[in-house]
Structure 1
Amino acid sequence: MRISTSQMFSLGLGAMLEKQGDLVRTQQQISTGQRMLSPADDPVAAVRNLELSRAKDRTEQYERNNHLLDSRLRLEESVLSESVTLLQRVRELAVQANNATQSNESRQSIALEIRQHLDSLLAYANTQDSDGRYIFSGFQQDTPAFSQTTSGVTYNGDDGQRMLQAGPGRQIADSDPGSAVFMAMLNGNGQFSAAASSANQGDGVIAVNAVADPASFTGQTLTVQFTSSDSYEVVDASSNVVASGSYLSGADIVAGGMSFQIEGQPVAGDSFTLQPAQRQDVFSMLDQLAGSLELGRSNAADRAQQTSEINHALGNLDQALDHILGKQTEVGARMASLDRQVDINAGASLQIEENLSLVNDLDYAEAITRFNQQLTSLQAAQQAFSKVQGLSLFNYL
């Protein structure tokens, strides 16, 4: 077999260039710490790397979402906690105002404090997050949730609830609409409410009330009418008598599955109304209580009317407290669920990083050994080429 000088030079040069290319590639791997410099190096690993990178991006997005969720939920929980404290104080003031030793002036002073608490509660309901968004406005987060009007407090938001992706297949609400927190409360005892007629002339006060027989409770409106100072009739909306009896102050009266007490001494013609509980906002509950305390009472009948109104307000406040405490519990449950999801995401993120390391990271010990071998091979090829290039017949002519 004959090999020309040009062919010999070409083969030697090609071998050196190939070994030099391998050496440069290994050097790049060592300098970057990456096993794959291009998808062509390992197509299967490149596809796996792409899948893992996408999973890592999703996990990082979950982390950002969860940070926002944590911030918003903590803010809402704090606002609800402050609201509960405020309502508890208002309830204490209502009990204080219900004391017979209070004068018109002292009750008006209590009403002034209640109105200050009402303003504070409205400010709580219009809380903004760090981005200036109103947390209780539903989807209308750039609009103040509530505003004061001549007719009362108006809700400006909607019933929307923004859900953020906290993890694969797991969404968590970052807040609650104000309509569900401050507006949708049942008044009275949550099932029915009791009120004295403003035309009453006696000093009868309607007090404790509850559902005595759920099976008989129909939720109809009933009116207790006193036919004399010691007898009464209970009539429905069609004026049908459903119960009657002799009156004894503080004794239980049962009608339509409802049990209640009337204390004091009503007179003939006095009446008290029992009606199904209605949805009411907490702001009007406080406003009605303050309005009742602001109005001076000059006789026993007026003071009895005020006492009935305060008793009704106390029932409303109990319902408001239960409602907001329930919302606070829901937020707490979401925060606990978020904490668990954060832990799950952290574990998933660690696993993804480990898998990415297995796919991408370079084995430095193997790479350095390979680099030294390739360097030795290249040096040998260069030395051999320098020897071979000197072989020529012209040296012997």
Structure 2
Amino acid sequence: MRISTSMMFERSQNAMQSRQSDLSKVGEQVASGKRVVSPSDDPRASSQALIVKQDQAIQEQYKNSRTSATSALEAQDNTLDSVNKLLYTGKGLVVQAGNGALSDSDRASVATQLEGLYNQLTGLANGKDSNGQYMFSGSKGDVQPFTPGTDANGDFVMNYAGDSEPLNMKVDASRLMDVNATGTNVFKVPSTAAGDAESDLFTAFQTAITALRTPKTPDNQDALRADLDKVNRQLDAGLDNIGSVQTTVGSKLNELDILGNIGTSRMISNEGALSDLQDLDYAEAISRYTLGQIGLEASQKMFMQTQQTSLFSLIR
């Protein structure tokens, strides 16, 4: 096969351009710190890296959900602590009010203290979390759950505007967690062994307040004692219920910690996998860059020599 001068020129030019392209590619890799700059560099590694990145994005979403869930549950736990302390204080006042030596004014004074506790309890029950959502409205976070009122007989009732569906969050691939307790469950008073019907903490406080503000007479003293004994039992039942709710909240917080540790480990593993698939071996890349420079210089010299190879260069 006869090789023409133009063919020699074209081949030398192509070789030089190929060397320049290779050197440019290594330069991009060194600059970016990535072995795979574009999918064509390693289609298999690029495909695997895409799968890992998608999982990493999902894990990040779960992490954000766990952060929100933890914040919501911690806010409830703090509120329940306050409710617990308030109920113990209220129970002490109810026991104190049962002292037969107290006068009507003494009992009225205790009633005023209980009313203050009742107002605090209502405030806690209508408390909001860090996102401005009502904690005990179930899935209706924008609706105030509790509003006091009266029934058809004029008796006190606490109206509940929330629902019975707790708010839930996807905190892991296979875990959908309820992150709040509905107000009707938190502030209820379960029925007691003494036969007291199920009620709520607000009604228990109002029963005590009304009884203590009623002047004591021989005719109603037994009823007063019965009301205070009933409220005392109800507060005990309410304390047990609050303790049960707190235990559930604590268990969920512990679970979130465990899921968080697992998620962190998975994200670290994903980062390692991405590094193996994409990151550049600088020592090897610099070696290739050096060899590429030598090759480019050699091809440039060959190109220059090819340009000079002509019959006309022999004519003097």
- Into which bin does the TM-score normalised by the smaller protein fall? over 0.9
Shift of 1:159: 0.7
- 2:22 maps to 1:8: no
2:83 matches 1:83: yes
2:104 equivalent to 1:186: no
Which of 202, 226, 249 is matched with 1:331 structurally?
Answer: 249
Residue equivalent to 2:298: 380
Give the drift of 1:123: 0.4
- Cα distance in 2, alignment partners of residues 395 and 182 from structure 1: 104
Q: What is residue 127 of structure 2 aligned with on the other side?
A: 127
1:21-60 correspondence to structure 2 within 5 Å: 21-60=21-60
- Superposed CA RMSD in Å reads 1.2
Please give the secondary structure, in 1, of the residue aligned with 2:159: strand
Q: Where is the helix percentage greater, Structure 1 or Structure 2?
A: 2
Q: Partner residue of 2:69?
A: 69
Distance apart, 1:95 and its partner CA: 0.4
The 3-state SS of whatever aligns with 1:389 is helix
Give the count of matched residue pairs: 310
Distance 1:370 1:392 in 2: 34
1:292 maps onto 2:192 in alignment: no
Please report how far the alpha carbon of residue 337 of structure 1 lies from its aligned counterpart in structure 2 after TM superposition. Answer: 0.9
Distance in 2 (CA, whole Å) between partners of 1:161 and 1:382 is 74
Q: State the AA in 1 paired with 2:76.
A: E
- 1: CA distance, partners of 2:35 / 2:179: 42
Separation in structure 2 between the aligned mates of residue 57 and residue 176 of structure 1, nearest angstrom: 30
Q: What secondary structure sits across from 2:128 in the alignment?
A: coil
Give a deviation string over 1:339-373, Cα, whole Å, max 9, x none: 11111111111111111111111111111101111
Q: How far apart, CA to CA, are the structure 1 residues paired with 2:220 and 2:148?
A: 30
Deviation, structure 1 residue 278: 2.3
Q: Distance in 2 between matches of 1:358 and 1:10?
A: 40
Q: Deviations over 1:244-277 (max 9, x none)?
A: xxxxxxxxxxxxxxxxxxxxxxxxxxxxxxxxx4
Flag the structure with larger Rg: 1
The residue number in structure 2 matching 1:102 is 102
In the alignment, the residues of structure 1 paired with residue 16 and residue 217 of structure 2 have an alpha-carbon distance, to the nearest angstrom, of 114
TM-score (norm 1): 0.76
Q: CA separation in 2, counterparts of 1:380 and 1:172?
A: 67
1:1-397 map, 5 Å: 1-151=1-151, 152-183=157-188, 185-187=189-191, 190-193=192-195, 277-299=196-218, 301-397=219-315
Distance (Å, rounded) in 2 between the aligned partners of 1:167 and 1:396: 80
> Once the two structures are superposed, what CA deviation does each residue of 1:16-39 show, in whole Å capped at 9, x if it has no partner?
111111110110000001111211
Gaps of 5+ in 1: 194-276
2:162 alignment partner AA: G
Instruction: Report the AA paired with residue 323 of structure 1.
Output: N
Instruction: Give, in angstroms, the shift of residue 192 of structure 1.
Output: 4.0
Aligned to 2:154: none
| Residue in 2 that maps onto 1:215 | none
Please list every run of 5 or more consecutive structure 2 residues that lacks an aligned counterpart in the other structure.
Answer: 152-156
Aligned with 1:36: secondary structure? coil
> Aligned equivalents of 2:57 and 2:313: distance in 1?
68
Query: TM (normalized to structure 2)?
Result: 0.95
Helix, strand or coil for the counterpart of 1:165? strand
Greater strand proportion:
1
